[in-house]
Homo-oligomer: A and B are copies of this chain.
C-alpha cells in the first residue's frame, strides 16, 4: 500500500543507485529537460500517463507507483531536512545576501509584482573557465504584476 508520493521517491532513489542510471538518461527517455524531469522524479511535479509509464519502466516501478507519479504531489517539503547540505545552502545564501537587491532591481525594472515560480523554468549548465569551470544557473519566470482593484 503506497499512501504518499515520498514512498515512490524512495523507490526511485533506490532503483537509481542499484541500476546506475543518470538523470540525463531519464530525461532523454522522457523527452523533457533534465531539470524538470529530475524534479518530477523527486516528487515535485506531476507526470502525464506517458511520462509516468516511461519512468516506471526505467526504474522498474509497480503499477501502483506509476499511478502515484501522475498525482499532483505535495511539493517543497523534502528540501527542508536537507537545508544544511552545503550545495543547497549556498542557494539559500545567495538569497540571504542578494535577496533585497533582487527585489529592488526587479521592482525598478517591472514595478510592483513578482517573478512567478510556477510559470518558471530552470537551466543548469557547465560554463568552462580557465580559472576553474563555473556552474551556470539560469532561471526565468513570468513577471506577474499585483492586481489593483
Contact = CB atoms under 8 A, between A and B. Distances in A.
Copies of this chain, count? 10
Interface residues of A, number: 101
**Chain B CB within 10 A, most for which of A75, A77, A94:** A75
Secondary structure at chain A's binding surface: helix, strand, loop or mixed?
mixed
**Chain B CB within 10 A, most for which of A18, A106, A129, A141:** A141
Contacts of A44: 97-98, 100-101
Contacts of A71: 17
A102 B93 contact: no
Given A3-B13, A72-B103, A137-B139, 4 more contacts: A1-B10, A17-B71, A114-B118, A119-B145
17 contacts: A1-B14, A17-B64, A32-B149, A39-B100, A72-B103, A76-B86, A77-B85, A77-B96, A90-B116, A90-B141, A94-B120, A97-B117, A98-B122, A118-B147, A120-B147, A133-B143, A137-B140
